Structure 1
Amino acid sequence: MDKVSVKTGDTPSGPVGTVTSSEVVVQAVVPGSDATLLRAGMTARVETPDGEEVEGRLVALGDDVPKNDAGDDKDAPVAPDGGSGGDASAPVPIRISVPSGKLTENADGSAKVTIEVGASDGDVLTVPIAALHTSADGQATVRVRRGTTVVRVSVEAGLSAEGRVEVTPSGDTLKAGDPVVVGR
């Protein structure tokens, strides 16, 4: 408490005090499928519409975000699985702490939050996500056109972003520029 407006024994009829924190927090929600990749302590980049960019830390997600800070619907319950209620795409609340003195001009404004969950080492081979097929046993394959025939190539799937997925083929059976079959 920075300032107390009542004395011991008084009957409060309004605010009883003021609490000031130097912590700036950014509250957001992410799809449940993305929340599974996040952990407290991860670095988050926060960018305001006017271009100000600061680095913060993910301090809470799912059940660890106080219920009254979970977003616009302050009374919405958060499911025990982090807010998804079993639906992997359901929103999960997150909370990011930004160093004091940062973003104070943009309080109650919008911001873009980026949390890097992984990165590829150098150049990688990618295919459209729609070209990747996964069998019941978890084996990933890509169909490649070789002349007039189509062959299946076993691959190991890696990171995905912007509609593409990193693949590592078994041996030299898939190379950059090979035509892959999408969506059949």
Structure 2
Amino acid sequence: MAEVVVDSTQERGPEPERDGAPDPGQAPDREQAPNPGSPRRKARGRGRKVVAVAVLVLLAAGAATAATLGLGGHGSGDKVASDLPPSTAEVTRRTLQDTQSVDGQLGFGPTTTLSARRPGTVTEAPEAGDRITRGKALYEEDGRPVTLMYGSTPAYRPLKTGTGGADVRQLEKNLSALGYTGFTVDDEYTAATAEAVRAWQEDQGLAETGAVELGSVVFAPGAVRVDSVAARKGDTVGPGGKVLSYTGTEQAVTAELDPADQRLAKEGEDVEVVLPGDRSVKGTIKNVSTVIEPGNGQGEEAKTKVEVVVGFKDRTGRKAAEGYALAAVHVDFTSETRKDVLTVPVGALLALAEGGFGVEAVHGSTSEYVPVTTGLFADGWVEISGKGISEGTKVGVPK
């Protein structure tokens, strides 16, 4: 009678399953790779430091028992053809991008509130949707136009002879763009500047004082689109009273990020905008700002958000967006890019018995487990590197 003694501390585990169906009577033994939601196969039974089965054959009949257990003399890491993986894939080179998608709103970008700087009666008001360019009136107060000029510095003081600063240069740039001459565009409000202002005031129907009164000019980064009107013709307004709100004139997407994700948004970086119908177009981050939303006064704390304004990169994107006045969209931010790296499908990864990950490299009718170092996971692929891993290497994958 043959006697077989098995060392229970070194019992050989089952071959790794690729199609999710374990052998009858055996509970599946799998581990998860560090990419949530992606199943990994646990390699056991052979290869590097794989748990071995020690069999003591006392009688000649024991040889048949050993063969039945699958110990037919194959070297570590090799399998017969019938034990090869059910499917293979090649190691390929590609560029991986890790993206994060957030909800966005297609419109014309963030709105800016325009408030009166002096008391009076609104004598002319625009309509929502009106577009106003440099040198044109945003509205009229007591018969005097409040004129739009371009610039990033808000009007905050009267400008007159002897005044100096960036706001003076900004005013002079606008006067020059509107066709007024005889002065030098610099930081000094000179007598020549005052003369050009008088000419401008005459054309506007204003008193020709040569000084720019606070509240007579509004600076914005460019042309504006009236978003809403708060003060209609005939309404009285006072300093700080809301007159209207405006946006830019080009369509844009506004998205919000949590402060922890602010690293994703850098001005000038490219993003993908997914329009209704799953059409993707290219966008560029135009502005990133921190917005604090106050609490409601009933125990709700203030919230901090990162507001990101995305413009369309080319005519194709702008044309595609024109079909939607307002729409919910998605913005795909790229957090990391790995160019020209070796990759395999995520399902090709195996959890090795000694720890770490590997792949089952297939060489003709045999295969072996090869340890690999993983890099970026993206779109169902994973970056790998390791000894014996090169472009074109075949690796086992599930069906």
**Following the alignment from structure 2 to structure 1, what is the Cα–Cα distance between the partners of residues 360 and 386?**
12
Distance 1:22 1:151, change over 3 A: same
Contact 1:24/1:99, CA 8 A, preserved across alignment? no
Change (3 A) 1:95 1:132: farther
Give unmatched runs, 5+ long, in structure 2.
1-113, 115-131, 133-137, 143-214, 216-235, 294-300
User: Contact 2:348–2:395 at 8 Å: present in 1 too?
Assistant: no
Deviation per CA, 1:74-131: give whole Å up to 9, x if none.
Answer: x9612xxxx5xxxxxxxx653312369933442320223334552532x832141793
Is 1:169 aligned to 2:395, yes or no?
A: no
The partner residue of 2:252 within 3, 18, 25 is 25
Alpha-carbon shift at residue 5 of structure 1 (Å): 5.2
State whether residues 156 and 169 of structure 1, in contact with CA within 8 Å, keep that contact through their aligned partners in structure 2.
Answer: no
Q: Distance in 2 between matches of 1:60 and 1:95?
A: 5
CA distance in 2 between counterparts of 1:173 and 1:17 reads: 63
Matching residue within 311, 314, 317 for 1:97:
311
Specify the alignment match of 1:179 in structure 2: 396
Q: Is the 8 A contact 2:342 2:391 kept in 1?
A: no
Q: Which has the larger radius of gyration?
A: 2
**Matching residue within 343, 351, 359 for 1:125:** 343
Return the letter of the residue paired with 1:11: V
CA distance 1:162–1:108, shift in 2 (3 Å): same
Equivalent residue letter for 1:96: V
Residue by residue over 1:134-162, the C-alpha shift from the partner in whole angstroms, topping out at 9 and shown as x without a partner, is xxxxx9632548899974613241x3222
Residues 16 and 141 (structure 1 numbering): CA distance in 2 closer, same or farther, change over 3 Å?
A: same
User: CA, structure 1 residues 50+93, in 2 after alignment: closer, same or farther (shift >3 Å)?
Assistant: same
Instruction: Name the residue aligned to 1:136.
Output: none
Q: Percent identity of the aligned residues?
A: 18
Q: CA 1:179–1:29 in structure 2 vs 1: closer, same or farther (change >3 Å)?
A: farther
Tell me which of 291, 296, 301 is aligned to 1:66: 291
Matches within 5 A, 1:1-184: 2=132, 3-4=138-139, 6-7=141-142, 10-11=236-237, 16-17=243-244, 19-29=246-256, 36-50=263-277, 54-61=281-288, 64-67=289-292, 77-78=303-304, 94-98=308-312, 102=318, 103-116=321-334, 117-118=336-337, 120-121=339-340, 124-128=342-346, 131=349, 141-142=357-358, 144=360, 151=369, 153-157=371-375, 159-172=376-389, 176-179=393-396
Contact 1:4 1:18 in 2 (8 A): no
Number of positions where the alignment pairs a residue of Structure 1 with one of Structure 2: 153
The amino acid that maps onto 1:66 is V
SS in 2 for 1:41: coil
* C-alpha distance in structure 2 between counterparts of 1:180 and 1:145, whole Å: 10
Asked whether the 8 Å contact 2:345–2:381 carries over to 1, the reply is yes
Q: TM-score, normalised by structure 2?
A: 0.29
CA change 1:150–1:55 in 2 (3 A) is: closer
> Within 2, Cα distance between the matches of 1:32 and 1:45?
21
Change in Cα spacing, 1:150 to 1:35, as seen in structure 2 (3 Å) is: farther
Maintained 8 Å contact 1:28/1:95: yes
Contact 1:60 1:95 in 2 (8 A): yes
* Counterpart contact for 1:156–1:168, Cα < 8 Å: yes
Is contact 2:273-2:330 (8 Å) kept?
Answer: yes
TM-score by length of 1: 0.53
With over 3 angstroms needed to count, the CA separation of the structure-2 counterparts of 1:132 and 1:15, relative to structure 1, is: farther
Q: CA deviation at 1:167?
A: 1.1
**Shift, 1:26, TM fit:** 0.9
- Give the aligned residue type for 2:303: P
Amino acid at match of 1:58: I
Question: Aligned partners of 2:329 and 2:286: how far apart in 1?
Answer: 17
Q: Look up the equivalent residue of 1:97 and give its one-letter code.
A: G
